[in-house]
Copies of this chain bind each other. A is one copy, B any other.
């Protein structure tokens, strides 16, 4: 058993897919039960520089070495744009190939034609990578929340605009300053209009709405408003009102009937909301299901490897389906063929920061004695605060934050400090800096 893949397009994401399939071959084989093989990748120019070198003989300029090639079961369309992507996908489906694509513009404008063809051909069209990069939002809407009537979707679906907005919000930059910075950092393109005018996010909103409500909104019906009119003063006022500003993609159903409300525009949202904490190039989606309640997803919305992560996830899923046509149960995907119990690292070897609180007698020499104990155990202190005398006991809180230390050393030091006559009640809470 072997699943053979062909790529249409070998740019950033294509090279990421090639890298994952090659460097994680063992991992993927373990999970699926058989290997994946990238056999052909279609490029416009054989000599261009790639992000990941392909095996000899893989690159070709002829798309029909992939599309319609009976050796290849899965066609990954990563070239973008409407044509020739549309025609090639339709041809691949007609030829009995499954399709994985990251092409949101194509699906948002020609989705009906493509999904109809897929249904006729009894083949899959998978597109997790088309919306929100590595975030598994397509899978969540299709599978995890299948049993729900979806009531609303709120999304931050474009990383470039969210980066610009985050910079305007944090450092009071003007739109032009933040855009220039974002271009210099490689997030915004030289012609940034598809991002900043909201079109890219609107394509994604159309796809999410179709998955959520089973209705494909027409792009031209949607109110789409970009971010170029935002000014620093608006961010300042938003903050006074307890809001932050985000470019928000919104769709909702009113009481389950009437037309769908779909719109995309800058919006003020309460600063305590999870969506308000999504900054920089991150994407996020909040989905309200009638049974599930509010499900919030966030993560990298773009980039070579995050997008490739979703493309390869889809390839694996298609590979399972394609086996299922051979009348066997799909592989379990758990890599648990030989699951066995294993010991974990002893807690004593954990390397962590610590918050320590000692109730101590408020007298000279106590701090020096305790910090001496920690020094002898190779624990270095980041901060020390002493305050808050308890009127009943006369004890004060001596609070210390440590740099990273071995749990074993820390416990030894705490045990030693606890034995001191000047030290009473003690508390230890670990600090997770590496989150």
Which positions in A face B, CB cutoff 8 Å? 16, 20, 24, 27-28, 30-31, 111-112, 115-116, 118-119, 122-124, 128, 134-136, 139-140, 142-149, 152, 154, 210-211, 214-218, 221-223, 229-231, 233-234, 237-238, 240-241, 243, 245, 248, 250-251, 254, 258-263, 265-270, 272-275, 277-278, 284, 286, 289-300, 303, 305-306, 308-310, 312-313, 316-317, 321, 324-330, 332-337, 339-347, 350, 355, 357, 383, 385, 388, 397, 399, 401, 427, 429-435
Contact = CB atoms under 8 A, between A and B. Distances in A.
A238 B149 contact: no
B432 A154 contact: yes
A332 B297 contact: no
Given A147-B308, A284-B296, 12 more contacts: A27-B149, A146-B313, A218-B341, A218-B343, A261-B344, A267-B431, A268-B432, A269-B431, A272-B277, A291-B306, A324-B325, A325-B327
A258 B340 contact: no
B306 A300 contact: no
Contact of A313 (B143, B332, B385): B143
> How many identical subunits does the complex contain?
2
A144 B139 contact: yes
Contact of A299 (B31, B136, B142, B296): B296
Contacts of A294: 299-300
A329 B291 contact: no
6 contacts: A136-B140, A221-B343, A263-B350, A296-B296, A321-B329, A321-B330
Nearest to A348: B223
A146 B267 contact: no
A216 B382 CA distance: 36
Contacts of A312: 146-147, 291
**8 closest cross-chain pairs (CB), A and B:** A136-B144, A147-B312, A324-B324, A134-B292, A223-B347, A327-B327, A291-B309, A295-B299
A327 B385 CA distance: 68
A259 B342 contact: yes
A216 B339 contact: yes
Contact of A143 (B139, B269, B275): B139
Given A139-B140, A260-B342, A262-B345, A250 B432 contact: yes
Contacts of A290: 305
Contacts of A128: 144
A51 to B, nearest CB: 13
A313 B258 contact: no
A215 B221 CA distance: 50
